[in-house]
Chain A
Amino acid sequence: QKEVEQNSGPLSVPEGAIASLNCTYSDRVSQSFFWYRQYSGKSPELIMSIYSNGDKEDGRFTAQLNKASQYVSLLIRDSQPSDSATYLCAASGGSYIPTFGRGTSLIVHP
């Protein structure tokens, strides 16, 4: 059974701080990893993809992947209230279908 685990939260951070979201996955053959942002009542929006070990930066977002530890993280620098949402981690291996985590709720308070 492929699983992607995330802390449901909520994770509460002050505006301007770094938000750190974490995810572990069980399927060792997973090769592709994704972070989606989902606002309440809206559909998920892909914000980061990462395929190799290390860090990948895109604006205020940094995704980190450690395949040996089966661990993926998302850092959001200079967090803004508009970043308040649920963040879904997903992992994909041999099939085209990613396994999604249940999501972590992030609250950025002014």
Chain B
Amino acid sequence: EADIYQTPRYLVIGTGKKITLECSQTMGHDKMYWYQQDPGMELHLIHYSYGVNSTEKGDLSSESTVSRIRTEHFPLTLESARPSHTSQYLCASSGVGTAVNEQFFGPGTRLTVL
């Protein structure tokens, strides 16, 4: 079944730890995105990728990094987590054809840094 998967769904971690948020999709999409969203607030684009070995920073300055080694996989890494990183992280993908700009979102990872 075509879908977008994010793991973990919830993560509580201490300050200074390195974390990687996983995102995988079986939608057959070439474009993938990471958004950050605080409760009740707007979406902020932090990273995007148009294909393998292509990554760009988004509108919101972020201390995270991403990689795109495989089309279906777009992990996000925080080298040293801080309480200010506490937020919901949403992965999305978009595809091909006439619906090329339709973004589909994964379930999200809720990150709490103590």
Q: Indicate whether A and B interact.
A: yes
Residues of A within 8 A of B (CB): 32, 34, 41-46, 49, 51, 88, 90, 92, 96-98, 100-103
Query: In the complex the two chains form, is A102's CB within 8 Å of B100's CB?
Result: no
Q: List, sorted by A's number, 9 A–B pairs whose CB atoms are closer than 8 Å.
A: A43-B107, A45-B105, A46-B104, A88-B43, A96-B50, A96-B94, A100-B43, A101-B42, A103-B42
Residues of B within 8 A of A (CB): 31, 33, 39, 41-43, 45, 48, 50, 58, 90, 94, 98-108
Query: In the complex the two chains form, is B105's CB within 8 Å of A97's CB?
Result: no
Query: In the complex the two chains form, is A97's CB within 8 Å of B108's CB?
Result: no
Q: Across the interface, which residues of A come within 8 angstroms of B105, CB to CB?
A: 43-45
Given contacts A96-B94, A97-B45, A100-B43, contact A46 B103 (CB under 8 A): yes
Q: Would you give the shortest CB distance from A27 to chain B, in whole angstroms?
A: 13
Q: Across the interface, which residues of B come within 8 angstroms of A97, CB to CB?
A: 33, 45, 48, 58
Having A45-B105, A96-B101, one finds 10 other A-B pairs with CB under 8 Å, namely: A42-B107, A43-B108, A46-B103, A46-B104, A88-B43, A96-B50, A100-B42, A100-B43, A102-B42, A103-B42
Per the bound structure, the CA–CA distance linking A98 and B59 in Å amounts to 12
Partner of A43, one of B90, B98, B99: B90
Q: Would you give the shortest CB distance from B77 to chain A, in whole angstroms?
A: 21
